[in-house]
Structures are given as C-alpha cells and as structure tokens.
Amino acid sequence: MQVFGAVRALLAADGPRGVTFAAVARASGLSGPSLVQRHGSREGLLRAALAAGWEALEAGTLAAVAAAPPGPRGAAQLLKTLGAEAGELSVLASGLVDKALRRRAAGWRAGVEAALAERLGGNRQEAAEAAALLFLAWQGRLHWQEAGGGGFRLKSAAQRLAGPPPEPAAQDRPT
C-alpha cells in the first residue's frame, strides 16, 4: 500500500520523529484526517506500516529460499537476495519495541537460519550453529558497510562454515 511505503520511507529518512500525519499525508497524497480516521493514532499507523513491511519481507524471503540452490553457494545467494532489502530491514528493525513485531522478526530470523542450515548441511546442531553465525555475520556486514566495512565475501564465509566437502566413497576415488 502506498501509505505504508511512505511511512517506511519517512522512517528511513528521518526516524520515528519524521513520521507525522502531515508528513505522511504529503508523501501519500491522502488527507491527514483520513489517515487519523483509518489508523487512530500515529503509533497505529507506524505499527500497520511495519506489519505490512514484515509481510512483504516474509513473502520475498519465501521466494528467495525457494530459488536458492543447496550448498554454501545457495546460502550466500539467499543472503545476497535478502540483502537487496537491507534498507527495509533496518526500518523494520526500528519497530521491534512492539511485542508482536518482535515475535514476527524472531520467526523470520528463525526461518532464514533454518534455510541457511539446510544449505550448509552437516549434522543438525553444527549446521544450526553455522547458520546462526552466518546470519549474524551478514547482519553485521549490512549495518557496517556504510562505514566502510566491506570485510568478507558471503560465499567464502558460507564455505568455511559448511566445512570441507565430504570425502568421496572408496568406489568413487580414482585409482
């Protein structure tokens, strides 16, 4: 919805203080009284806009998971695809003071980590730990890249966390 996109753009540009009914009305073309009538309060408008953002991110994540191939390369591809929404992720994270949005964020993170673990393989516990580390490294990279922290390549990190490829079976080895 155009209104919610305008709210999230204002959040990204000016933080929560920049989101007023007047500013959203200017950005969306709707009247301030219509927005008040529809959402009741500024907090209600913010909550609805952030919930709509999480809904869009969840749908995009499902598509990215479906498109990412198995293996470390697929894990890196998944995070790169999700990273295209890095600005949106930062905006959505700004709403984590709301308990419902915090639960939604936790569920999204758990889903992403499960998809990473599936691609990294190995035993279940090690894959889950590697996925959590890769997720955190990716998030750190997203937050610090504006300050010059290019750091590492996701594909290389995913390969290191996945460990060495399995040894071929004896009958598959060259003699």
What is the C-alpha separation between 6 and 61, in angstroms, rounded?
Answer: 22
- Helix 124-144 with 86-93: angle, nearest 10 deg: 90
Q: What residue segments make up the domains of the chain, in order of their start?
A: 50-164
The pLDDT assigned to 93 comes to 81
Say yes or no to pLDDT of 87 above 90: no
Q: What pLDDT sits at residue 65?
A: 96
Q: Which residue has the higher pLDDT, 59 or 174?
A: 59
**Which backbone phi and psi does 4 adopt, to 5 degrees?**
-65, -35
Does 144 score more than 80 pLDDT? no
